[in-house]
């Protein structure tokens, strides 16, 4: 099947391309980009030189319809909604990496992102976290692939909240991201001398747009609305997200709370090939998932404070973006969930 990639020259587009090239059932279809239209993609993505030399195309919905069987869209939110709607109107299955179809409540969308560009399609997507929505994704034609922070945060906490091992109130998520999470556009904050050799928080105190997405999914699992404190940090590395989440154990039993968490996670992810629950005492390392579609999870319990510390490490561009889209495609088309995604991390 041929995959059109919209926004092919950005980081998630590039990573989608890399994964499509290595996938047993997918082929590279039209590569769409605005800024670099007319150039060979390898001029913009230097690692593809000699491997993929397709010319970047300007956006043309009909051409995509003619040449592609499905679409991975890696546009910024806002710009995405309308184009995704046009592709859906043509009947194309769309796996959208933007935030435009992730939220279920339009008021919440409006609060965080403003007016929606395709209200007629709002609410008709499936949230593309395979570990939570595997069944619904088998028939989904509009998939809202989660952001990188929500993927790490939700994966770490979902089993605990779902199995009521922790209190859904009072959760704190302290997340550390590599700089590629900010996208390809150069800025003052991502200029090497400002992003290397130090660490800094940003959008502190509930200002980051991924907050409502995390809360939406965890609230559904909790069966009750939930608000949490989310603090993103920019760490001096290119790839990787580590989410360190803090929640109160519902019944602090020092002797076995850690095991209870680990068992809950093992059950929850029993049929999820992308998730690895680490042994007691281990901590996830972003280096151990870099270049892979895997999430490494770990659980600790602090008997002195009754608090559970849940951690998740992912590669923000893969399990936090392009790999997740491919995982959804695999599920949607009935292939093995891990097809094209089974490679280990590139370590060290």
Residues within window 209-248 making contact with a second copy, judged by CB under 8 A: 227-229, 231, 233, 235-240, 242, 244, 246
Cα separation, 198 vs 221, in Å, equals 36
3-state SS assignment for residue 32: strand
Nearer to a second copy, 53 or 89 (CB): 53
Q: Identify residues 313-342 at the interface with a second copy (CB under 8 A).
A: 313, 342
Nearer to a second copy, 25 or 202 (CB): 202
Q: Phi-psi bin for 224: left (phi > 0), alpha (psi -120 to 50), beta?
A: beta
| Among 85-93, 95-103, 116-124, 197-205, the segment contacting a second copy (CB under 8 A) | 197-205
Token pair recorded at residue 215? 């809360």
Among 309, 325, 326, 341, binds a second copy (CB under 8 A): 309
Nearer to a second copy, 57 or 231 (CB): 231
Does 191 contact a second copy by CB under 8 A? yes
Site string for a second copy, 47-76 (x = CB under 8 A): xxxxxx------------------------
With both helix axes pointing from N to C terminus, report the angle between 148-162 and 211-222 in degrees, rounded to the nearest 10: 20
Among 76, 134, 163, 190, binds a second copy (CB under 8 A): 190
Question: Least separation, in Å, of the C-beta of 215 and a second copy?
Answer: 9
Does 108 contact a second copy by CB under 8 A? no
Cα separation, 327 vs 114, in Å, equals 30
Whose tokens are 């609305």? That residue is 225
> Closest Cα to residue 81, out of 67, 64, 66, 97?
97
Question: Least separation, in Å, of the C-beta of 147 and a second copy?
Answer: 18
Residue 343 CA to its chain's centroid (Å) = 18
Does 21 contact a second copy by CB under 8 A? yes
- Determine phi and psi for 59, rounding to 5 degrees: -65, 130
Whose tokens are 């593809």? That residue is 48
Q: Which of 142, 148, 313, 317 is catalytic?
A: 148
Q: Identify residues 242-301 at the interface with a second copy (CB under 8 A).
A: 242, 244, 246, 258, 276, 278, 283-292, 294, 296, 298, 300-301
3-state SS assignment for residue 266: helix
Does 184 contact a second copy by CB under 8 A? yes
Question: Least separation, in Å, of the C-beta of 308 and a second copy?
Answer: 9
3-state SS assignment for residue 15: helix
3-state SS assignment for residue 197: coil
Among 57, 311, 316, 330, binds a second copy (CB under 8 A): 311
Among 23, 77, 210, 307, binds a second copy (CB under 8 A): 307
Token pair recorded at residue 223? 């069966």
148 is catalytic: yes
- Determine phi and psi for 295, rounding to 5 degrees: -115, 130
Q: Hey, which residues are catalytic here?
A: 148
């Amino acid at each position: 099947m041929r995959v059109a990639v919209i926004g092919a020259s950005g980081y998630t587009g590039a990573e989608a391309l890399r994964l499509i090239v290595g996938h047993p059932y997918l082929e590279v279809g039209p590569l769409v980009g605005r800024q670099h239209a007319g150039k060979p993609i390898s001029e913009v993505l230097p690692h593809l030189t000699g491997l993929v030399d397709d010319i970047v195309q300007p956006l043309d919905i009909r051409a995509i319809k003619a040449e592609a069987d499905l679409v991975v869209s890696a546009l910024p939110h806002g710009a995405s909604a309308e184009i995704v709607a046009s592709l859906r109107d043509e009947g194309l299955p769309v796996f959208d990496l933007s935030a435009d179809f992730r939220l279920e409540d339009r008021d919440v969308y409006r609060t965080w992102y403003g007016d929606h560009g395709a209200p007629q399609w709002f609410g008709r997507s499936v949230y593309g976290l395979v570990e939570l929505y595997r069944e619904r994704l088998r028939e989904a034609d509009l998939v809202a692939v989660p952001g990188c922070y929500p993927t790490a945060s939700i994966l770490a906490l979902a089993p605990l909240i779902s199995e009521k091992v922790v209190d859904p109130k009072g959760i704190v998520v302290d997340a550390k991201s590599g700089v590629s999470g900010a996208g390809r556009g150069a800025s003052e904050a991502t200029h090497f001398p400002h992003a290397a050799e130090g660490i800094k928080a940003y959008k502190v105190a509930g200002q980051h747009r991924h907050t409502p997405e995390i809360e939406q999914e965890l609230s559904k699992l909790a069966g009750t609305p939930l608000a949490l404190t989310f603090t993103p940090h920019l760490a001096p590395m290119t790839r990787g997200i580590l989410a360190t989440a803090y929640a109160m154990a519902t019944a602090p039993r020092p002797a076995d709370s850690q095991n209870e968490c680990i068992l809950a996670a093992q059950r929850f992810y029993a049929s999820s090939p992308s998730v690895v629950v680490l042994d007691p005492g281990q901590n996830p390392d972003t280096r151990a998932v870099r270049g892979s579609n895997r999430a490494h999870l770990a659980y600790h319990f602090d008997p002195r404070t009754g608090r559970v510390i849940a951690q998740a490490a992912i590669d923000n561009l893969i399990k936090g973006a392009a790999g997740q889209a491919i995982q959804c495609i695999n599920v949607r088309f009935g292939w093995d969930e891990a097809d094209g995604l089974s490679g280990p991390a590139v370590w060290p």
